[in-house]
Amino acid sequence: MNIEDENLQCALHAVIVPFPLQSHVNALMNLAQLLAMRGFFITFVNTEWIHKRIVGDSARKANSLISLLFRGDRDHRGGRIRFLSIADGLPPDHCSASNLGDSFIALQKLSPALEHLLRSRSGNDEQYPFPAITCIVTDCVMSCTEQVATNMKVPRVIFWPLCAASSIAQCYATFLISHGHIPVTISEANNPEKLITCLPGNIPPLRPSDLNSLYRAQDPSDVLFNAILYESQKQSKGDYVLVNTFEELEGRDAVTALSLNGCPALAIGPLFLPNFLQGRDSTTSLWEEDESCQTWLDMQQPASVIYVSFGSLAVKSQEQLEQLALGLEGTGQPFLWVLRSDVAEGKPAVLPEGFEERTKERALLVRWAPQLKVLSHTSVGLFLTHSGWNSTMESMSLGVPILGFPYSGDQFLNCRFAKDVWEIGLDFEGVDVDDQKVVPKEEVEDTVKRMMRSSEGKQLRENALKLKECATRAVLPGGSSFLNLNTFVEDMARKVA
Ligand code: UDX
């Protein structure tokens, strides 16, 4: 046996399997980098649709990922990342974000293909050999990994890309059904008196409207409702649990509650932050980032810009987008608005007549932004967001207060916690998934002004800056998330020793 073979025998190798959505891929790519820094070999398995967008034909993407791989080789103790892909059986132009139901069903059937892929790409067929698999780190909604981990006799590490409170509500879905909290009816959702206090983990009492909006389905055969319930039954069957949150934000008990069978459960977030602080580009954007944001932001006054983005999936009605545009115009503040080409319920937004001309001196409209660079820019004073978990954590970790405008899933809980629990933001009145309320331009304008110009807004900003400090401490050497990630690495190392 030569030295390289011997080294490989005691090397760590994590297979990482994200759900094919921007936020999930981003969070797990950050984890991949942090593990590679700690000496892990990483096999990152995307569906073909995602794989093509991040390492596929685009020279720009390929270059940025290749430099990522080289950095991994040069700077870190042997860690290496490789990207593999798996066909999900859906049409090549299929976008998971707009077809969640189809995606869930297709992904739930992937066990044989994933196992075949991993077995056929193990061993010495590589230019650089990879060691035996130490563990499979699976997105919490990729149940297809369960059978693969069992057959390959490796630990299954369940990764939660949501906040701990949302994750608990999802993990305990069957329990919530037995207590009559799911499905959530419209009248219950809007009844602030009906609190859910039976969940473990010392999490704040939840309102029915905080539960994942997929639990609103009244039709027992609803595809997404059933898919998410199926996933929640599989989430209890893990050997290790990792959560993209930090103990100072949600408490250790909330994270521990995600271990239903007594396995270790650790908070290791915000995962983007250590990479970001050390200037490592972990970008796995599925859309091309508009780099003009940076120079435009450089020209604005400190803390003056409203950054508006609804993540990769959320849409608004055409009427709502018009009111939003007029509301932003009315604030008199500069704004940077990400208008994805499908943001108007699948179509490009049509903005009010004359709007672009009237606001051209103080507005920048882009299709996709380098969000971390934007949120960390000193000109940004407020984030008007759909309250996806990544966006929420990125905003709080970079000290930017949040104006939440949720659309679906866990976004309602993130938005309410940002306002009521962490006190770093506000929201609009009465926005609910079952209620087609259009937030009028006056409310947009007033709420933004409240946040940018009042003493209340100043306090929210101070609170956000305090959370930024906590998040930073958590991920730096000696911090809670830093130490937890080391504990995970040590536990995995014991398995190959
Ligand atoms: C989805 C769900 O919508 C969300 O509720 C859940 O918490 C996670 O999965 P997504 O819509 O993608 O998430 O939103 P979010 O979690 O906020 O993640 C979006 C990611 O895209 C962030 O990491 C953000 O930095 C990035 N982004 C977004 C950009 O890089 N540029 C943009 O213009 C917008």
| pLDDT tens per residue across span 207-255 | 999 999 999 877 778 888 888 889 988 888 899 999 999 999 999 999 9
Span from the CA of 488 to the centroid of ligand 1 (angstroms): 26
pLDDT at 97: 64
Q: What is the pLDDT of residue 219?
A: 78
Over the stretch 103-153, which tens digit does the pLDDT of each residue have? 888 999 999 999 999 999 876 556 678 899 999 999 999 999 999 999 999
Confirm whether pTM is higher than 0.80: yes
Contacts of 48 (CB under 8 A, 6+ apart): 85, 86, 87, 88, 92
Residue of 23, 61, 339 with the most ligand 1 atoms within 8 Å of its CB, for mutation? 23
- Residue written as token pair 């990922």: 65
Q: Identify the CA nearest to 328 among candidates 464, 457, 462, 439.
A: 439
Q: Which protein residue's CA is at the shortest distance from atom 34 of ligand 1?
A: 311
- Express as a percent the part of the chain with pLDDT over 70: 91
Of ligand 1's listed atoms, the one at least distance from the Cα of 285 is 30
Which residue did the predictor score with more confidence, 185 or 471? 471
Atom 3 of ligand 1, nearest CA residue: 388
* Nearest partner of 421 among 191, 196, 270, 205, judged by Cα: 205
Instruction: Write down the residue that tokens 């390929």 correspond to.
Output: 62
**Whether residue 72 has pLDDT greater than 50:** no
* Ligand 1: centre distance to CA 214 (Å): 18
CA quadruple 45, 51, 54, 60: dihedral sign: positive
Mean confidence (pLDDT) of the chain: 90
> Hey, what are 302's tokens?
């400190």
The residue ranges of DSSP E strands in 394-485, in sequence order, are 402-404, 425-427
Residue 153 CB burial class (10 angstroms; 0-12, 13-18, ≥19): exposed
**DSSP codes, 160-225:** E-S-HHHHHHHHTHHHHHHTT-SSPPHHHHT-TT--B---SSSPPPBPGGGS-GGGG--STT-HHH
Give the Å distance between the CA of 371 and the centre of ligand 1: 9
What are 443-496's pLDDT values in tens digits? Answer: 999 999 999 999 999 999 999 999 999 999 999 999 999 999 999 999 999 988
pLDDT on residue 325: 98
Atom of ligand 1 nearest to the CA of 21: 12
Of ligand 1's listed atoms, the one at least distance from the Cα of 366 is 33
Non-local (6+) Cβ contacts of 85 within 8 A are 45, 46, 47, 48, 50, 51, 52
Residues at CB less than 6 angstroms from ligand 1: 21-23, 26, 162, 285, 309, 311-314, 338, 368-369, 371-372, 388-391, 394, 409-411
